[in-house]
Amino acid sequence: MSNALTWLTDPVNWQDQLGTPGIPTQLGNHLAYSLAAVAIATVIAFPLGLLIGHTGRGTPVVTFANGLRALPTLGLLILLYVVVSPHISGRGDAPYLVPTEIVLVLLAIPPVLGNTCAGVQNVDPAVRDASVGMGMTGREVLFRVELPIALPLVLSGLRSAVLQVVATATVAAYVGLGGIGRYLYDGLAARDFAQMTGGAVLVAALALVLDGVLAGVQRYAVSPGVSGRFGTGPAQAGARVAEAAGKASVPA
């Protein structure tokens, strides 16, 4: 552990050397790969989840996406890498980046899709009926009633997607991608355990910080009426149940 601390505090490791990117660059790479994947997955899964949850049609898609979670991440990563990378003749990182981005997007879709859909479907039917009775159109019901109520679940889906992607992006260094995973595998190859442990600390810190930031977003984006931060009542119990349901995700 103390060796890892020495490695982490050595200023040489924080500067870009010729051919070896420094810690800030690799942190930036890791963040960029992860956020790009989560963004693409959200663009695909969030509208789809809203649509399926609102119309109640197409639930087999959610079941299928959840089934994908049973696949071993590493196997999926290497299979896609082997299948896709020979077809990519780009410069630089493209042969590593494209297949791993596809896998990361595939991993981020199920939590976002499943939680968005479940969040919208779990809205109390009485609330939905009341909004229709007040003369809201289907679109208004979705965006002004169902989505705000579903938001805690949607955001916890996003949180587990981010964690899963950050963890898997680390493993993706095995097939040659940059990011903090490089320190783990390069350290292993060179028997440099200080570098390895230092990299592990960095990844854990990155995951904790990202999750903390999203927890903050969740706290302030969710309407006080839904989260029950102000006042007491049935909404509070509902929010707790929703939060508990969102936590039932899988580490990566």
Partner 1 sequence: MIAALGRIPAQGGQSPPGLLGYFSAHRTEVLHWLWWHAWLSVLPVLIGLVVSLPLGYLASRRRWAYPALVSVSGLLYTIPSLALFVAMPSILGTKILDPVNVVVALSIYTVALLARVVADGLGAVPEDVAQAATAMGYTPLQRLAKVDLPLAVPVITAGLRVAVVANVSLVAIAATIGVPELGQLFTNGFQLSSTGPYYPPIVLGIVLCVVLALVLDLVIVLVNRALTPWRRTEAHR
Rounded to the nearest 10°, the torsion over CA 108, 109, 111, 112 is: 110
Residue 178 CB, shortest distance to partner 1, in Å, is 15
With CB under 8 A as the contact rule, the residue among 197, 228, 235, 238 that binds partner 1 is: 197
Contacts of partner 1 in 159-178 (CB under 8 A) = 163, 166-167, 170-171, 174-175
Q: Does 241 bind partner 1 (CB under 8 A)?
A: no
Residue 136 CB, shortest distance to partner 1, in Å, is 36
Helices (H), the chain: 2-9, 23-55, 59-68, 73-84, 94-121, 125-133, 138-140, 147-171, 181-189, 193-221, 224-227, 234-247
Contact segment (CB under 8 A) with partner 1 among 45-53, 117-125, 179-187, 219-227 equals 179-187
Residue by residue, DSSP assigns 27-78 as: HHHHHHHHHHHHHHHHHHHHHHHHHHHHH---HHHHHHHHHHTTS-HHHHHH
Range 9-13, long-range pairs (CB < 8 A, 24+ positions): 13/198
Could you give phi then psi for residue 134, rounded to 5 degrees?
-80, 0
Question: Residues in contact with partner 1, total (CB under 8 A)?
Answer: 45
CA distance 97 to 146: 37
Q: Does 105 bind partner 1 (CB under 8 A)?
A: no
With CB under 8 A as the contact rule, the residue among 35, 44, 185, 192 that binds partner 1 is: 185
Residue 247 CB, shortest distance to partner 1, in Å, is 8
CA distance 21 to 3: 20
Residue 158 CB, shortest distance to partner 1, in Å, is 14
Binding mask 26-65 for partner 1 (x = CB under 8 A): ----------------------------------------
Q: Does 12 bind partner 1 (CB under 8 A)?
A: no
With CB under 8 A as the contact rule, the residue among 11, 19, 60, 72 that binds partner 1 is: 72
Give the binding site for partner 1 (CB under 8 A).
1, 3-4, 70-79, 81-83, 86, 163, 166-167, 170-171, 174-175, 181, 184-185, 188, 193, 196-197, 199-201, 203-204, 207-208, 211, 244, 247-248, 250-252
